[in-house]
Amino acid sequence: MNRLALFKAYLVKEFAIFRRYLPNTIGGIVTFYVIFLLIFLGYTGIAGGSPNYGDMVEDLIVGFVLWSLILMSYQNIAFTIKDEAQEGTLEQLYMSPYNFGWIITSHVSARLIINFVIIAVILTLIMLTTGNWLNINLLSIIPLTVFTLMGVLGVGFAVGGITLLYKRIDSYLQILQFAMVGLVAAPSESVIWLRFLPASWGSTLIRRVMVQGASIMDFSFGELSLLILIGCFYLAVGYGIYKKAEQKAMKQGILGHY
Amino acid sequence: MLDKEPMLSVVGLEKTYQAKNKPPIRAVNNISFQVKKGTIVGILGPNGAGKTTTIKMLCGLILPDAGAITINGHDLAVERSSALRSVSAVLDGNRNIYWRLTVRENLAFFAALKQRKTAQISEDIEYYLEFFNLKEKRNEEARKLSRGMQQKLAIAVAMIAESDILLLDEPTLGLDVTSTHEIRELLRTLVDEKHKTVLLSTHDMHLVENVCDEVIIINQGRVVVQDSVSNLKGIFQTKPYRILIEGTLSDSQILELSHIPNLSIEVLDTGSTLLTALLEEKSELYPILNILEQEESPVESIEKITPNFEEIFLAILQKGA
C-alpha cells in the first residue's frame, strides 16, 4: 500500500509540473512534430514514387513515435538522476525509507503515463497530417511497449550511475539520444543478433502490430519470451551498474555533488 | 539532561577520502559521541574539520570506513530503513526542496516519500504551514519564495516526516538577521514543544550560544570537546577585567603590579594605560585598586569582560591544536 502511495505522490507531482509548465510541454510536442514533418517531407521527396510508399510511411511513423517514447524514457532515468543531484534533492530521496530502486521506478512510471499522453497527441497529429492511420491495438501495444522500454530503462540506469560518478557528461548523454535511433531502426527481423540489443526486438514486434495489423496473440511463445528476457536482462544489468556506481559514490562522498 | 536517553550514538566513526594522484584525506578520525533525546546539539569546527562528512554519514549518504551509528536503537548499517525513518535532514538548505512545486505540494510529496500515512498528511500539512508561518504562501512555487522562506520550507519538509531526529547542515547560512532569528526560535520551539532532537552543524556562534544545549567541537576530524554550552562558558568564565587608567603608571606601581598573577599592562596610543586581569574572585580586584590609589592614578573605567562563544570556540581550538 505504501509503495502505491509513493507512486501516487509522484503522479501528483509530475502532473502538477506538467500542468504548471504546459506551454513548455506544448513546445516539446511542437518540436517533435516539426522534426517529424521535416523527416516526412524529405522522405516523400525521395521515395514519393515508390510502389511501397504507403507501408514505408507507416514504418516511418511507428519508428519516429517509438524513438520519441524511447528517448523520453531514457531521459526519464538518466536526466532525472543528474537533475536531482544538480538540484540538491537526490540526497533527500536516498534518505527515504523506500529503496531507491522503487523510488526511481515510481518516478519513471508516473512520467511514463504522462509521456504516453504526449506521444498519443504527437501520433494523432502525425496520422492526421500524413493521412496514414495505424492499427492502434492498445491491448497488444501496451505490454509490448512496457517490455521494450524495460531495456531502455536499463540503459538509463547504467548511464545514471555513470553520471553519479563522472558528473559533467551532458554532451555524452545527448549523443546517446541519437544512438537510440539505431536501436529503433535496426533490422532485427532479418539480422538475428540485432534482436539482442535493447529495444530493438520490441520495436520490430510493435511495428508488426501497428503496421501489419498483427495482435499479441499472433506472436509465438519464443518471440514473446525473447522480448521479456531481453527487457529483464538489460534492466537487471543496468540497475546492477547503477548500484555499483551508487556504492562507489557513497564511498567517495560524492552522491549528491554536482 | 543526564537522565535523557541517547537518540543518536556514534562510536569510532572513521572516513578517509582517497583520490587518484592525491594524498588521502582523513576527514573523520575515530569520532564518538551521543545525542540525547529532546536536546539541540551543535557541531562546531573550522572549515574542513569533518562536520559535513559526519552529518552525511549519519544520514547514510556517505559510507564510513569504520565505526557504528545507532539511530533510535537501530544500527544504520544493518537496519538502514528503520534507522532512516527516525531521521530527517536539511543538508543544502533551500536546495533540498523542489523549486517548481508549491509549498503545499512540497510538503505533501516529502510526507509520502517518508512513508507518512495518507490520512494524516493533510492535517499535518496545515499544522506545519501554520507552525512555520507559511500559510499565506501555500500555493506559491518554492522558487518564488525568499531565501529565508525557502529555508523554513526545507525545515518544514524535514519535519513533516515526523522523524524524531532532525539533522541540519548550516541552517542559517546566507540568511538575513530576521530569518536567522526566526529559524533559531523555530528550532527551540521544535525541541521544547514537539520534543524533537536536533543535531546541527554551523559556523554561527550566536545560534550555538542561544539555541544549543550541548556542543561538539570537531577539529581535524577529531572531537576536541563535547559539553553543555553553559559548562563551556563556565570553564572559560575566569572573570577577566579591564581597567583603563588615564596616563601612565610609575615604575614602583609597575613593579608591584607585576607580582599579581595573570595581569598584563599595556600603554595605549592614546596615552592611557590598560590593565587586563584574569581573576578567580572579585575580591582579587582590591589589591590592584590599592596600588593605583597609592599614587592616585585616575581610573577611567573598570569593565568586566564576558567571553562570547566565539572566543570560547577559538580558545578550545587553540588548546586542542
Predicted structure pTM score: 0.80
What number is the average pLDDT over the span A80-93? 87
pLDDT at B83 over 50: yes
pLDDT band at B42 (very low <50, low <70, confident <90, very high): very high
> A48: distance to nearest CA of chain B, Å?
46
Tell me which CATH homologous superfamily contains domain B238-305. Answer: YebC, transcriptional regulation domain (3.30.70.980)
What number is the average pLDDT over the span A118-137? 88
Rounded Cα distance, A153 and A107, in Å: 12
pLDDT band at B235 (very low <50, low <70, confident <90, very high): low
A9, B113: Cβ pair inside 8 Å? yes
Chain B residues touching chain A at CB-CB below 8 Å:
15, 17-18, 27, 53, 56, 59-63, 81-82, 84-85, 87-89, 91-92, 95-102, 105, 108-110, 112-115, 118, 141
pLDDT at B237 over 80: no
Across chain A, mean pLDDT equals 87
Least confident segment among B34-38, B98-102, B119-123: B119-123
Q: Which of B153, B96, B157 has the alpha carbon at shortest distance from A89?
A: B96
pLDDT at A107 over 70: yes
B63, A98: Cβ pair inside 8 Å? no
What number is the average pLDDT over the span A192-198? 91
- Name which of B61, B102, B108 is nearest A91 (Cβ-Cβ): B61
Q: Which fold has domain B6-234?
A: Rossmann fold (3.40.50)
A97: which chain B residues are within 8 Å (Cβ-Cβ)? 81-82, 84-85, 114-115
A11: which chain B residues are within 8 Å (Cβ-Cβ)? none
Q: What is the ipTM of this complex?
A: 0.85
**Which of A86, A95, A105 is the best mutation test for B, with the most CBs of B within 10 A?**
A95
pLDDT at B258 over 70: yes
pLDDT at B2 over 50: no
Task: Give the model confidence (pLDDT) of A154-189 as tens digits.
Answer: 998 998 899 888 877 777 777 887 788 888 888 888
What number is the average pLDDT over the span B261-278? 87
Q: What is the pLDDT of residue B1?
A: 44
Q: Can you spell out the DSSP letters for A113-179?
A: HHHHHHHHHHHHHHHHHH-------HHHHHHHHHHHHHHHHHHHHHHHHHHHHS---HHHHHHHHHH
B113, A103: Cβ pair inside 8 Å? yes
What number is the average pLDDT over the span A6-32? 91
A12, B96: Cβ pair inside 8 Å? no
Domain boundaries, chain A: 2-252
Percent of chain B with pLDDT over 70: 94
Rounded Cα distance, B86 and B84, in Å: 5
Domain boundaries, chain B: 6-234, 238-305
Q: Report which of residues B204 and A234 the model is more confident about.
A: A234
Q: What is the pLDDT of residue A258?
A: 63
Q: What is the pLDDT of residue A20?
A: 92
Rounded Cα distance, B125 and B138, in Å: 10
The residue of chain A nearest to residue B62, with distances taken between CA atoms, is A250
pLDDT at B321 over 70: no
Instruction: Count Cβ atoms within 10 A of the Cβ of residue B265 and give its class: 0-12 exposed, 13-18 middle, 19 or more buried.
Output: middle
Across chain B, mean pLDDT equals 87
Percent helix, strand, coil in chain B (nearest 5)?
40, 30, 35
Least confident segment among A84-93, B108-117, B238-247, B252-261: B238-247
**Which of B113, B163, B173 is the best mutation test for A, with the most CBs of A within 10 A?**
B113
pLDDT band at A28 (very low <50, low <70, confident <90, very high): confident
pLDDT at A1 over 60: no
What number is the average pLDDT over the span B168-175? 84
B118, A5: Cβ pair inside 8 Å? yes
B115, A253: Cβ pair inside 8 Å? no
pLDDT band at B94 (very low <50, low <70, confident <90, very high): confident
Q: What is the pLDDT of residue A229?
A: 97
What number is the average pLDDT over the span A43-52? 70
Output A119-125 pairs: Cβ under 8 A, ≥24 positions apart.
A119/A65, A119/A68, A119/A69, A119/A72, A121/A29, A122/A29, A122/A32, A122/A33, A122/A36, A122/A65, A122/A68, A123/A61, A123/A65, A125/A29, A125/A33
B6-234 and B238-305 share one fold: no
pLDDT band at B283 (very low <50, low <70, confident <90, very high): confident
**Strand order of the sheet with strand B299-304?**
B263-267, B273-278, B240-245, B299-304
pLDDT at B183 over 70: yes
